[in-house]
Structure 1
Amino acid sequence: MNYNFSSCTLCPKMCRTDRSKTSGFCGANDKIKAAKAGLHLWEEPALSGRNGSGAVFFSGCSLKCCFCQNSQISHANFGKEITVQRLGDIFLELQEQGADNINLVSPTHFVPYIIKALDQVRHKLIIPIVYNSSGYERVETLKLLKGYIDIYLPDLKYFSSELSGKYSHAANYFEFASKAILEMHNQQPNLVWNGLLLKKGLIIRHLILPGCRHDSIKIINWIAENLPSDSFMISLMSQYTPDYNNNIYPEINRKITNFEYNSVLNRIIEFGLNGYSQDKTSASAEYTPDFNLEGI
């Protein structure tokens, strides 16, 4: 597809930056930039499988979360510029390495190029394509991806605009993320399995923040009220790690407590939602990828 990067509106920031001349709010210009590609074993079991998810970590992000574990690429924009042809080759190389899927991590600002790369290699790909997103998406951009994405893996980070504005510089986060998730579900309304691996469907992630359990419960309530319980999975994450810039916000400069985590988990159980809960030992910087341009 052809996209005019001279006035970019791919994400909800709608910054209309001329990315052929400078970088947008996301930190990206009109060249694809990525920091790592390889087999990633730390996704949900239905995605990592035995061999690992074939993750491509793109540089830049349309959110600026103060607690981002991948700040080296999301904030500092570390990475290497590559062509559409090279991106397609990376997809094929990951498949050859035994990846159970192609996992596009923070891909929003490169959607037009991803579509071009997939068009070049789709006839050779036999594994699912995963769209691993912050959830901060425009429905109009997601509609461009219809027929290309097999599995949507969005976050749903906040219900409160006060919290999303404070910690992620996006007061309109829930307004866009809720509509985006409904569109993702519209495109992939059912869970389709290949043994223990997910072949098609929607997994909604939620990361509990310290002191924000009430906001988390509101998110769970919204999900349960708006999506059929057997048509998606939820992944409740406990991996919040106060290791980046959180001295600015002392109220979240700690790990979450068992009480906070169990309060949200119990709400999920009450609704009978299926999915994954995470061991609290995952709240460690050890699980942050080493962005070393491997595979790029």
Structure 2
Amino acid sequence: MSILITGAAGFIGSHVARALLSRGEQVLGIDNFSDYYDPALKRARLDPLCEHKGFTFVEADISDRKATLGLAIRYPGIDRIIHLAAQPGVHLSLTDPYVYVQTNVVGHLVMLELACHLPRLRHFVYASSSSVYGSNRKQPFSVTDRVDHPISLYAATKRADELMTEVYTHLHGLRATGLRYFTVYGPWGRPDMAPYIFARAIAAGTVIELFHRGEVTRDFSYIDDIVAGTIAVLDRPTSEPGHRFYNLAAARSENLRVFLGHFEKAFGKAARIELKPGPPGDMTETSADITDTVRDFDWHPKVQVEEGVPNFVEWFKRYHRL
């Protein structure tokens, strides 16, 4: 039996794969090395996985029906799926909406079809996003909140994924769990996200643009905690077919300027800051209610930013040979 991980060369996917391999699982990874950011980083994440005898890799695009559905024939022993592949980010969706629909909506649909073709499948776990909470003003966000008003196309595609999964669990008897990840950071993180941007700018002495004039709060969630939560959920599917959601987050919202201060401390160097108005589609505040996640999986986030940021900076310096 094996676990299929989509987006295996991605930030979260590579960490999850490594953790599963370390406990003796057989892992099948798939990724298409999208050029949204430098594919060299993705290949560097993947290389150590490919050295593991329990890991098999297939380079393919999840929205390619022939390639993806063919996995059911080539690897009929797949009994769990962790679907993490997606087109991330909010800003690009303003200029290239088609790639979001192709990857996040069509790709997710193909993955659901694949799930229906795997007779041994026990659990379909997939990445949703805190972005689905959209313009909700109630904080912290709870999985019982309505999510009818997304404010970016990215968020809309993630909500579409949730709705499609609901249909497939009803029609085909899948056991599915959607994970609403909040801002995940840590070693091997994405270069388009604030932690990497902060580290790169402080190291180079360049200006950091703080949008919304820095008046932003985020539930920054450390990668090790997110991996532990993802695997805890994977290991406990529902006893009957059905669909459920959980928030995965630190449950501690941080002001962006305070968060930046931890990077300045880790580098021993002040950041150059320019305050700017925010672009459309940005959420200015996110915080998570993880009561259900803690109750159902006995999962507790452990790494706070005071520890997580120095860990990331240490990796950043090593990776970039600073």
After TM superposition, the score normalised by the length of structure 1 is 0.41
Q: Answer with 1 or 2: which has the greater Rg.
A: 2
* More helix, by proportion: 2
After TM superposition, the score normalised by the length of structure 2 is 0.39
